[in-house]
């Protein structure tokens, strides 16, 4: 099946563009597989429907398509486009804008602008991070989305959805673990849905079983650390202390370093620190009313990869 699809992509420009978009959806979890991307998109639509906000899913799809198309217009590196490296920031921008802004036609204009700018920022940031020997990862999504959310405070037609801190939930029991792990994975796309998280995990495993294992490990480690330090139980239950650690786990433990026992322990330490960075950034950004998004993951990933980059 893969060979048939690859042959079609090689012969047909439309199929090639679709393939690049599907790979872009998969690259959020650092994977490069169109079938992984297709399943991730399906899981996003499931979760958005379950939450009664399909605008998140349509926004994610729009952001993915727009950011990839802008990369083509800007004549970015064709191989990078085909690998989906310009689509994954766009899909995250597209999911975030309908999540944090009240529905309005102007919100969609913001989304289009944000998806396009995420591609420009991807090009700009990659010129810097490549000299460091690390990936820009979701930094374009973070900077673009946070700037748009800050700007929204000045525009009446794109009001922010009021940010509410997670209420303390009842005590967390081991029986809650499965749901929290699944939500931690689903929250990578700003969706708190158990089924979506399970589908994301299956999608990752389609391309890399090791990445799927580390995604689960990241969610478990973040849960233990957050509970151990006494974080807000409502935020823990929603997966809000786990999603960045999930990405850190995949990046440091499964994708950016050669597998070894040492790398596994190094990745676990990175996961632990990601939770601390998450708490710090949540506290720092609460007064200005914008979310940390995946900034804890990016900062931790850079911190833990820069020393290794120096030794290459």
* pLDDT score recorded for residue 312: 44
Backbone angles phi, psi at 101, to 5 degrees: -115, 145
Q: pLDDT by residue (tens digit) across 18-40?
A: 999 999 999 999 999 999 999 99
* pLDDT score recorded for residue 165: 60
Does residue 191 contact residue 51 with C-beta atoms inside 8 Å? yes
* pLDDT score recorded for residue 7: 65
* pLDDT score recorded for residue 6: 67
Structure tokens at 6: 């690859």
The lowest-confidence range among 161-165, 188-192, 248-252, 294-298 is 161-165
* pLDDT score recorded for residue 140: 97
Of 188, 272, 293, 260, nearest in space to 227 by CA:
272
* pLDDT score recorded for residue 12: 74
Q: Which residues, listed in sequence order, are joined to residue 101 by a DSSP beta bridge?
A: 160
Q: pLDDT by residue (tens digit) across 151-196?
A: 998 998 898 888 766 656 666 756 688 999 999 999 999 999 999 9
Q: What is the largest CA-CA distance in the chain?
A: 56
Distance CA 109, CA 28 (A): 23
Mutual angle of helices 295-310 and 105-132, in 10-degree steps = 20
What pTM does this model have? 0.93
Distance CA 258, CA 215 (A): 16
Q: Reply yes or no on whether the pLDDT at 231 is more than 90.
A: yes
Q: What's the pLDDT band for 216 if we cut at 50, 70, 90? A: very high
């Amino acid at each position: 099946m893969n060979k048939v699809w690859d042959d079609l992509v090689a012969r047909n420009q439309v199929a090639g563009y679709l393939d690049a978009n599907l790979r872009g959806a998969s690259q959020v979890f650092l994977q490069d597989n169109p079938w992984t991307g297709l399943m991730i998109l399906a899981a996003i639509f499931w979760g958005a429907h379950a939450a009664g906000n399909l605008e998140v899913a349509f926004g994610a799809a729009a952001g993915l398509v727009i950011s990839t198309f802008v990369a083509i217009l800007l004549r970015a590196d064709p191989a990078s486009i085909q690998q989906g490296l310009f689509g994954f920031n766009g899909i995250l921008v597209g999911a975030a804008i309908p999540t944090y802004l009240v529905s309005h036609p102007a919100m969609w204009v913001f989304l289009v602008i944000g998806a396009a700018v995420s591609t420009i920022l991807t090009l700009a940031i990659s010129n810097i991070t490549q000299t460091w020997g690390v990936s820009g990862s979701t930094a374009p999504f973070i900077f673009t989305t946070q700037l748009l959310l800050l700007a929204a405070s000045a525009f009446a037609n794109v009001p922010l959805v009021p940010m509410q801190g997670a209420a303390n939930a009842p005590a967390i029991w081991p029986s809650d673990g499965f749901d929290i792990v699944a939500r931690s994975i689903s929250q990578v796309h700003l969706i708190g849905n158990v089924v979506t998280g399970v589908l994301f995990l299956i999608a990752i495993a389609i391309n890399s079983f090791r990445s799927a294992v580390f995604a689960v490990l990241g969610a478990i480690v973040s849960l233990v650390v957050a509970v151990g330090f006494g974080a807000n139980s409502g935020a823990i239950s929603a997966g809000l202390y786990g999603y960045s650690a999930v990405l850190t786990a995949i990046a440091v433990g499964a994708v950016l370093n050669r597998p070894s026992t040492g790398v596994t322990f190094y990745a676990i330490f990175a996961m632990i620190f990601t939770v601390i960075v998450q708490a710090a950034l949540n506290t720092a950004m609460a007064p200005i009313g914008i979310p940390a998004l995946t900034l804890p993951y990016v900062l931790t990933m850079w911190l833990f990869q820069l020393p290794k980059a120096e030794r290459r």
